[in-house]
Chains A and B, each alone.
Chain A
Amino acid sequence: MPEGAPDLGTMNVVVCVKQIPDPADPGALDPTTKTLKRDGKLILDESDSYGVEMALQLVAAAGGGEVSLVSMAPNNEVSGIRTALAMGAASAILVSDPALKGTDALGTAKVLAAAIARKSPDLVIAATESSDGYTGTVPAQIAEILGLPSVTFAKSVAIEGGVAKVQRQTEAGYDEVECPLPALVSVTAGVVEPRYPSFKGIMAAKSKPVDMLTVADLGIDAGRVGWAGGGQEIVDIVAAPARQAGEKFEDDGTAHERIIAFLENLKIL
């Protein structure tokens, strides 16, 4: 077995879980600070619910070990974390700090990596991209900071003898990839079916430990994160040119004729 590989029979997984505003109630950009306004409750990003489920399944398959969570969010927000704990994760680290306001993907990765390092996991799981930020770079950045190999865009993951066997989505199909642990894997949506928290799970989640940390607790210089640490700035926010809706008809049994006329008009037919 390669060095650093876990003992057979236990497997510790850290899942990155982002807490985001409810997509059903989309936020707005604050015109003065030019950041996403995040008032109100945050929920577990659906993208990460797949990672949590994947981690729970892998730990169960290994026959032991623990799923823990890391999240970076403003205002000590835990509602999304509680959802993931209710699914079955054992504990969480939440990094929350006013200094993090305006932190970009690289800064986020620095913070999450420092939190993950405290757990020395066998496997780190993130989603391919978050629902609200979708930079899709945080997972590779975390892996690089931690010096780990990574397989992004995983649509299936199995662990055999300290090696992750991953099907990695490609343009044309998928690649079968083998990666020694410890490693980072980012999973696509639909990879597994996330379980609904049971009532018992929801009750248990209330007393599971959530470690609240600040940037200083992680030994990160506040100047390397937040607005100042970003190295990029928003210079303008403009309305995109809107697409005008055209004609709309109730189908009266002749809709197909209208479609054909439309296509003929465009010389498609």
Chain B
Amino acid sequence: MGLSKVWVFGEAADGKVATITLEILAKARELSDDVTVIYGGGDAPAIAATLGAHGATSVLATGDLGGGLLGVAVASALAAVIAAGDGPAAILLGTTQDGRDVAGRLSVKIDAPVITNVVDLELAGDKIVGTEPVFGGVTNVKTTFTTDKPQIVLVRPKSFAAEPSGGAPAAVGVLAVPDLGATGGAKVTSRFVEEATGPKLDEAAVVVSGGRGLGESGNYALIETLAKLLKAAPGASRAIVDAGWVPYSYQVGQTGKVVKPSVYLAAGISGATQHLVGMKGSKNIIAINKDGEAPIFGVADLGIVGDVHKVLPKLIEALQARG
């Protein structure tokens, strides 16, 4: 039953496994009894227990890359394993910066296609069928592979629920990185972490997002204050990220984060399809927009046709009064 062997591209920061990796592991262990996490970095022993507890049987890790970018190093290492005849039936990666780099580079090296933006997948025999939403999620396209190469699949965040399987710590093995030549030329010289307080955007139970309808940068404080009162994570539309009001890490949508909180409140956001794909999966959606025809109302459980500058201050005041 299932696939003989599946690789999952694993990501972690500061010894903590990324949620997307745990989400993919939950699906991967349904597809195969032999799930190996592929990891670019030196701290695999620190995450082996978590990975095992989520269904990975082993971890293959490159070791410290000395500042070299992960994508090209991991892809080259995997291509070498595949060339040696030890390739998997499928490779699942998250739709992340490094996930896309690995998938793109590897697809060229093994001359195999990538099925991208997958939000669900199933097996038809030994072939993966991936579901990809198009047109802002109104239509789903199902795509499968017609070659016998390893099946490379890029999975969007929040497609599967992360859940422990209770497995033992994954055995850590070595993934040898071959000489990268010119392709390995890029080096990270320093890392900057934007300050973030409160719950993480893609993990929070409540998300409060603001858009261009807030009028000006300073008004984003309304969103932050409200978020604090609701123990929510503040989010944003791309319009105000591009305008420099808030950092990219706040962005919800196709090119930002995918969120599925129990409540999503959108204030002054029109509801462009690229925003909707990032938040449509929320359990409950509240929208405040002065334009009654705004597309955001098409997905809102509670729609308020009103001015954010009137509604938000009153809401904040009322919540503060409750203490």
| Interfacial chain A residues near B191, Cβ < 8 Å | 170, 173-176
A82 within 8 A of B: no
B46 within 8 A of A: no
A180 within 8 A of B: yes
| Interfacial chain A residues near B143, Cβ < 8 Å | 232-235
| Interfacial chain B residues near A152, Cβ < 8 Å | 71, 97, 100-101
B260 within 8 A of A: no
Contact with A along B276-296 (1 / 0, CB 8 A): 000010001010100010000
B304 within 8 A of A: yes
Cβ contact within 8 Å between A251 and B139: no
Cβ contact within 8 Å between B181 and A232: no
Cβ contact within 8 Å between B254 and A134: yes
B306 within 8 A of A: yes
Cβ contact within 8 Å between A259 and B286: yes
Q: Which residue of A153, A176, A180, A256 contacts B311 across the interface (Cβ within 8 Å)?
A: A256
Given contacts A171-B96, A172-B194, A245-B299, contact A177 B188 (CB under 8 A): yes
Given contacts A168-B97, A255-B306, contact A175 B144 (CB under 8 A): no
- Count residues of B near A (Cβ-Cβ below 8 Å): 97
8 A Cβ contacts from B100-116 to A: 100-101, 103-105, 107-109, 111-116
B9 within 8 A of A: no
| Interfacial chain B residues near A109, Cβ < 8 Å | 104, 108
Cβ contact within 8 Å between B116 and A136: yes
Cβ contact within 8 Å between B194 and A173: yes
**Closest chain B residue to A245 by CB distance?**
B298
8 A Cβ contacts from B61-120 to A: 69, 71-72, 75, 95-97, 100-101, 103-105, 107-109, 111-117
Q: What is the distance, in angstroms, from B36's C-beta to the closest C-beta of chain A?
A: 22
Cβ contact within 8 Å between B249 and A173: yes
Contact with B along A140-158 (1 / 0, CB 8 A): 1101110111111101000
Cβ contact within 8 Å between A245 and B193: no
B154 within 8 A of A: yes
Report which A residues bind B (CB closer than 8 A).
4, 26, 29, 34, 104-106, 109, 128-129, 134-141, 143-145, 147-153, 155, 166, 168-180, 183, 188-190, 230-240, 242-243, 245-251, 253, 255-260, 262-263, 266, 268-269
5 shortest A-B CB distances, which residue pairs?
A251-B306, A140-B104, A190-B242, A248-B303, A149-B185
What are 16 sample pairs from A and B whose C-beta atoms fall under 8 A apart?
A: A105-B114, A138-B104, A147-B182, A150-B71, A151-B186, A179-B187, A190-B244, A231-B149, A233-B144, A240-B138, A249-B303, A255-B314, A256-B311, A256-B318, A266-B262, A266-B284
Report which B residues bind A (CB closer than 8 A).
13, 18, 69, 71-72, 75, 95-97, 100-101, 103-105, 107-109, 111-117, 124, 129, 133-135, 137-147, 149, 154, 181-194, 196, 205-206, 230, 238, 241-242, 244, 247-249, 254-255, 262-263, 265, 273, 280, 284, 286, 288, 292, 297-307, 310-311, 314-315, 317-319, 322
